[in-house]
Structure 1
Amino acid sequence: MSVAGTTERVLRLLALLQRRPSWTATELAAELGVTDRSVRRDVERLRALGYPVHATAGVGGGYQLGAGTRLPPLLLDDEEAIATAVSLRMASGGTVAGAGEAALRALAKLDQVMPPRLRAEVRAVHSATDTLVGPGTEIDADLLVTLARACRDSVRVRFRYAARSGERERAVEPVRMVATRHRWYLMAFDVDRDDWRTFRLDRMHDVTATTWHFHPREHPDPAAYVQHATSEAPYQHLARVRLRATAAQVRDRVPPQVAKVEDAEDGWCTLTAGGNDLTWLAMHIAALGLETEVLEPPELRTTAQHLAEHLAAMAAHPRTS
């Protein structure tokens, strides 16, 4: 076989190894239309190029593409290339410090080698899309990596935390990071307070992963816990109302960090939200424009009535020229 034919087959082999975790030599030979011996030679060619292809012997053994000391070139099919390019364009305006510049560099590399037909599809998606970026706080990428590794390896983390009561040192056992539209949070077990806590990443300083390994504890669902901590727990008032709509319809209009929305019966759902001002809560619930039944607190019902009377009085006095 010619050099070009061998190169094409090796690239096909690489694409197969990237498609799923493990292949037997027989499966690869069948996919490529060659012998097991040719597969072994092509695997050696990939290893010589820096691709860490691991082999396991015996029944059920086979080949697996592993992680090496550097990132080798990746092969993407058409759908993967389009999805990656679109995601990189979105990431260029994200909330992770430095990610925008890195995303643009990666996008430039991908765009350089992308076939014109795929490049046109990506640009069509981009030109037809606008992104509204909220006033989120940028998070240092190194901080994300440090916390992600600590969550993965179950090691304690120490940091300075700027809370409302002042800045203090905290020692925690991290479980998961949760990203909302504008902020990043860490759910962790606070060793000193012997309880679960959430921490805003933009308030964390001098973050250090220790060498102390901990045994993971049974923990609440991280996303639900952060949602409760950010939309309910910090506020003076907690409102619960029934809305005549499905939970999915309301979630499309209410961000998860603002309120918890759950399905109820007969086409209704319940919305739970916290706030320090009942008038503010009543206004935002009324702005949804849905039939509403106040469950608690009773004072919200009185506040809504006063708000309705005020709005009615405003409507009764139209401006005259």
Structure 2
Amino acid sequence: MSDTTTRALSLLNLLQTHRHWPGSELAERLGVTERTVRRDVERLRELGYRIESTPGVAGGYRLEAGSAVPPLLLNDEEAVAMAIGLRVAAAQRLVGGPETTLTALAKLEQVLPAPLRRRVTALADAVQPTGIRTGEAVSTEVLGELALACRDHERVRFTYTAASGEISHRRVEPYTLAPADRHWYLLCWDVERNDWRTFRVDRVNDILHTRVLFEPRELTPEQVEEFIRVARSWVRTAVETDIVMDLPFDAIREAFGQWGQGATVEDERRTRWPVGGQDFRETMYGMAWVPAGVEYTTDLAEPARSELRETLERMLRALNAAPPPIPSTRK
């Protein structure tokens, strides 16, 4: 960095720390003449900084707000404080526009020296805003790393722990991060599975940046919303069952779209699909989405199995019975 650039940055740092600086004091602090200070002020103005000057004995310089945001200079303590605030805001979703918060966090994290980043991580973990209900703890460092990968279109590897406890190693092309309910979700293209996948960020660990760039696939906002809605539905419920349909796997994906994410191949003509709900009624609703005319079996356990059978038998009796007479209109 040239002496001129270094001096201009030092001048900017001084202007940001005080409301008003006399020209003579700035010259003394920087070890230059007042004429040099004037030239450096002009350089900063050309970079977009609005610096007002007042003439006279009591005159000097002051940094004012302009029409655009110029670059800021932060010392170590200021950078740490800002990074902590952004991490907490991102993890707790304290402000609107989560993408904006993550973008700002990613920019700052990218340039933080390793010692400062470790300090930010330690302090951010100790900061817990009160009065805000959260889901599982989300590593703000992981959020920052994934935000960078989304921004830069860089493939990453990570370890993922499913709700069942199963651990898998993934290689993905991150597309976007989105908050829903009390969780963060990563929507990405799974390279090994050649399909879109959505992961809970609090279950992501050991992120490795591959430095392999990719051209992102196109998705509409509606498609992104659908992916996240499907991911939100994959939680453990009180009543869970698998149904095996007499329908090939590809036909299931075509019929169900993203709602068929949990489906697996049973054999060349049959597909297994998990269904769940808070009680047997919600499970019955899920089973009702099996395409018309497709036969299937289920391993629904007791007592939900008997409760569902009794409900369906009453429904069939009601449908087979003559409809009730239409009440006469009262005068």
- The alignment's TM-score, normalised by the length of structure 1, stands at 0.41
**TM-score, normalised by the number of residues in structure 2:** 0.40
Determine which structure has more spread, i.e. the larger CA radius of gyration: 2
